[in-house]
Amino acid sequence: MLENIRLSFQGIWSHKMRSFLTMLGIIIGIAAIIAIVSTIKGTNEQIKQNLIGAGDNSVTVQLHQGEGAYEMDYNGIPDGVPVITNDVLEQIREIDVVKEATLFVSRNTYNTIYHQSVGMSGGSLYGVDREYFDVCNYLIRSGRGFDEKDYSQFRKVAILDKESAETLFPGEDPMGKTIEIKQEPFVVIGIVEKSSKFEPVINSMEDYQMYNQGGGGKVYVPSAVWPALYGYDEPQKLVLTVNKTEDMTAAGKQSEEILNSYLSVSDDTIQYKAIDLLKQAKDIQDLSQSTNSMLIWIAGISLLVGGIGVMNIMLVSVTERTQEIGLKKAIGARKSKVLGQFLTEAAVLTSLGGLIGVIVGIILAEVISKLTGTLVAISVPAAVGAVVFSMIIGIVFGLLPSYKAANLNPIEALRHE
């Protein structure tokens, strides 16, 4: 075997130009695949980094109807959805991987919040408990957070985030000013900001939509005053945090189960579901993976063409070396020996092509990364797989020529000119 490999290298070396041209098909195919795989892996890595960059590892669990979020504005408060009590919240806090958890209510708002004549056309309104800002990693940038008295005395106070502050108070300090929410006056007591700056890398429209969902600014009021705006016993949402990003999905699942066990809805499509960014990221990754796997198939065609090139050259080589094969068979080489020799040669040729292809592919990926600014991650399993796959191509396409060589009649082969 080792002897065969040594002979194969000798053969390849003695026909450098021909061997290189034969390998070219394999080199191009493998290089394309490695470049694509590295780019996919880089993109996925980027999506993940963007999410971990969000830094909050938070999962929101809220009522869904079917696949979409339950629409309070159109459907009203559903029957059979009990208020989540502190006991239930405690159960969720006791889940191993859960760090913190808090309840809130929220609505998307359309022209609901005004400061004098300046309104917010979009955005959302949150009714939150005191610990909400801690759980969700917000910092009070100015003013104060909600205190106990805000809740016990049902004070109409509001906290803005940076975006809503800029929308409602362009060029003004909002502190102490009054805004109107559903015609009710609320005094702005603070401005919050996410503690970890999350700056996602945005390359496409899809990325933009993903990272800017729920945009348009947020306004927070104490949950105690929510009934004055929208009514009592509105289904709450749960937000929980975990220490490790990979625990997000598990924590979400377990809390879903706890919350759903208290439901007694007639429409069983109404269920609590966790919205976790990790899962969303995976969905996006799957999507990009499926489009890119198409590209891999297309690159695979060039491997097929390369394989046919190898077969062609091997057939030429068998014809050229008919005398040699004849001699070997005459002096006692079995068919299997001859077969093995030619198969090894084909496999060595394509493996070498694969190896060069991997190197070219990595260089290509780096160049793409430099030109487009996307992240590129080299996949070691893909590189190893590519070389092994090239070897298999050599064996498959070398089979016919090798079989032809092994079955030559030694008398005729020796006489061949």
Which positions touch another protein (CB under 8 A)? 3, 10, 14, 323-324, 326-335, 337, 410-411, 414
List all residues 6 or more positions away from 173 whose beta carbon is below 8 Å from its beta carbon: none
Measure the CA–CA gap between 369 and 48, rounded to whole angstroms. 17
Specify whether the CB–CB gap between 363 and 26 falls below 8 A: no
Nearest to another protein of 194, 335 (CB atom): 335
Nearest to another protein of 14, 290 (CB atom): 14
Measure the CA–CA gap between 302 and 126, rounded to whole angstroms. 56
Q: Shortest Cβ distance from residue 11 to another protein (Å)?
A: 8
DSSP-H helix ranges across 55-108: 72-75, 86-93
Name the residue type at position 108: N
Specify whether the CB–CB gap between 104 and 237 falls below 8 A: yes
Q: Shortest Cβ distance from residue 16 to another protein (Å)?
A: 14
Phi, psi of 120, rounded to the nearest 5 degrees: -100, 115
Nearest to another protein of 332, 373 (CB atom): 332
CA-to-CA separations, 46 to 31, 41, 97, 257, 267, in angstroms, rounded:
22, 8, 25, 31, 40
Nearest to another protein of 204, 407 (CB atom): 407
Q: Shortest Cβ distance from residue 325 to another protein (Å)?
A: 11
Of 107, 150, 149, residue with least CA distance to 127: 107
58: number of CA atoms within 13 Å, CB side?
Answer: 20
List all residues 6 or more positions away from 183 whose beta carbon is below 8 Å from its beta carbon: none
Specify whether the CB–CB gap between 255 and 248 falls below 8 A: no
Nearest to another protein of 225, 406 (CB atom): 406
Q: Shortest Cβ distance from residue 413 to another protein (Å)?
A: 10
Integer-rounded Cα radius of gyration of the chain: 33
Of 65, 34, 37, residue with least CA distance to 272: 65
Nearest to another protein of 12, 95 (CB atom): 12
Nearest to another protein of 311, 313 (CB atom): 313
Q: Shortest Cβ distance from residue 387 to another protein (Å)?
A: 27
Q: Shortest Cβ distance from residue 390 to another protein (Å)?
A: 25
Q: Shortest Cβ distance from residue 332 to another protein (Å)?
A: 2
